[in-house]
Amino acid sequence: MEVDDEIIKPKENEEDNRKPIVVILIGAPGSGKSVFFDNVMRVSTRPWVRVCQDTIGNGKSGTKAQCLALASTSLKDGKSIFIDRCNLTIEQRADFIKLKESYLVDIHAVVLDLPAKLCISRSVKRTGHEGNLQGGKAAAVVNQMLRKKELPKLNEGFTRIMFCQTENDVQEAVNTYGALSSSDILPSGVFGEKKTDTKVQLGIMKFLKRVDAPSKVTSDKTISEPSNHHVDERQEQSGTQPLDGVPTLAFPSISTADFQFNTEKASDIIVETVEEFVHKIGNGRLVLVDISHGSKILSLVKSKAAVKNIDPTKFFTFVGDITKLRSGGGLHCNVIANAANWRLKPGGGGVNAAIFDAAGPDLETATKKRAGSLSPGKAVTVPLPSTSPLFSKQGVTHVIHVLGPNMNPKRPNCLNDDYTTGCKILREAYSSLFENFASIVRTQEKSSDCEASNCDDEKTKKLKGFIEVNESNNSKKDWGTWGQALYKIAMHPEKHRNGVVEILDDVVVLNDVYPKAQRHILVIARADGLDRLADVSRKHLPILRTMHNVGVKWARSFLKENQSLVFRLGYHSSPSMRQLHLHVISQDFDSKHLKNKKHWNSFNSPFFRDSVDVIQQVSEEGRPTLNDDQKFMSMELRCNRCRSAHPNIPRLKSHIAICKSPFPANLLQNDRLLQNAPNKDDNV
């Protein structure tokens, strides 16, 4: 399950205005709804009320009306609630979602979408169930309920939906809600949604049919596959369905249709450009889309991408209408590319006409504000107004217009088969398209995924006072105002002497404004254009070694002051502040600024790349591996020494303060940890 469960702390002046939340549990009998609630309550400090129809009548089964009454009373008292009913259909959930309007609360859904066979097995075997649903009759009831199941969608009125399809997913959800204090909130959106393979679904339905027989339940002979689990046959790359919340660009093949560019040459350029950019788009994904099942360009690109071993979770092909990817194919793309004409006007047929038509007049109006025309090889990003149907129905937030070369003599600026020029322009067009998308991804990362060491609201305020925030440049638009802080310090450290502790020709050293341990400094590269780890190649080995050696020097100075400290040097795979920077951080993590799961996991999961490993990998392979999957941010909290699990940050911190276990073997190897009495020189 890929989720981003960063708990967001309200600003101090918002404390009195905090609101309770309503969590609607959704799942068949036997999916573990009551156990889920019990497990949350064991670790939670937030005041929760369980609204369970099986027990609401003085310990006996009651009515939906009684559940609504208890929910209303609890919300008036400022308590958050779990709705513990099956809630498998839209109709069953509707009245509880209406609480949002009456009490101005956020409505969450936790979907315990576990295998049908498991739910039936649990239901049949259990005894003493509150609702007396157990034994032989349970199988038939679960069977009937699952046939009617309608998975929730945001447009029902939910603020947040979290899908759990394995026991590990369930535990992650328990950890997420168990860690919420009275004032915490969670990011909105859909997390953990996955498409189930058609064959698996048919196997489930066959299993359900078999359990009908001994229960003597009459049912239709024809069992249809549940529509809410439909897997679109048009997806070319199975198993790579993007999730809501994952930045995804869907783009058509540029110039091969109306502009009649050679398909073979175009496929080479697509694959080569994707290969170049796939490491520069953070956790984003690229999807080449064509409406035809027999598309030659999709076939060529798919085979060539496989030969180059391009990660199929970062780039794949898809058959579908680019204006209906979510509703028509279940593919969630927040950005789509338009094969535009130079006037940036509707019409002309093909993709351009379809996108302008689907987006309505809002797109043309927004485009005019951005640009009046477009040159071949260029692209321009247009934020889509929320009033546009493409935004409201398909979830598209941006359209990137891109213009390729023309080989059609009936169209303007025909190159008359000059493929030397044409290939150059097409490569520029895809590069410009992907760079525009990368900028969108970076902007979204800055707003929703503040780097763990620099993400508090108060920090933003301090940074704004620490640097000049009114400077205007194109890069700032990509990274956000506070995200430019390190870049500005690196480029002009003389202007920030109050915060900088060392200035060298190649690096700048400063204390982290919000340290996550007793000692936490940043060593920042002064090379322009080296924004983050994704930009690093073999030519940057000298600066990587310099950064490492400077970091070691400072760690050694700290060890002279406090011999009990242990240091680790490394990079975040996907930082939220511009300019490559190395974290030098003591492993005590004794800091009031370490507040949530994302803070911890950003330094104690594969997301954190050790400096020595980065240098070795770049030296041997040319580029570092980026472990930027957001699943690392939602991993359970484990001690960095003994690896024991803990339900929340306060308990983890209490344990760390007394844990004397040795560090894991992998950290004790290859000089990943820096401590007293080293075995050898630390310079690399």
Q: Which residues are catalytic?
A: 581
The neighbouring-strand residues paired with 60 are: 57
Residue pair 233/270 in contact (Cβ under 8 Å)? The answer is no
Residue 91 contacts by C-beta under 8 Å, 6 or more apart in sequence? none
Q: How far apart are CA 284 and CA 558, in angstroms?
A: 38
* 520-525/581-586 β-pairing: antiparallel
Residue pair 635/605 in contact (Cβ under 8 Å)? The answer is yes
Q: How far apart are CA 459 and CA 477, in angstroms?
A: 19
* 567-572/673-674 β-pairing: antiparallel
Please give the single-letter amino acid code of residue 472. Answer: S
Strands across the sheet with 285-290, in order? 315-319, 285-290, 248-251, 335-339, 398-402, 379-383
Residue pair 86/26 in contact (Cβ under 8 Å)? The answer is yes
DSSP string, 595-651: -SHHHHHTTSSTTEEEHHHHHHHHHHHSS------GGGGGSPEE-TTT--EESSHHH
CA separation (Å) from 163 to 10, 111, 472, 648, 656? Answer: 25, 5, 42, 21, 31
Residue 65 contacts by C-beta under 8 Å, 6 or more apart in sequence? none
State the alpha helices, DSSP H only, in 493-634: 541-561, 597-601, 611-621
Please give the single-letter amino acid code of residue 288. Answer: L
Residue pair 649/597 in contact (Cβ under 8 Å)? The answer is yes
3-state secondary structure of 177: helix
Residue pair 50/36 in contact (Cβ under 8 Å)? The answer is no
DSSP 493: G
Q: How far apart are CA 200 and CA 209, in angstroms?
A: 14
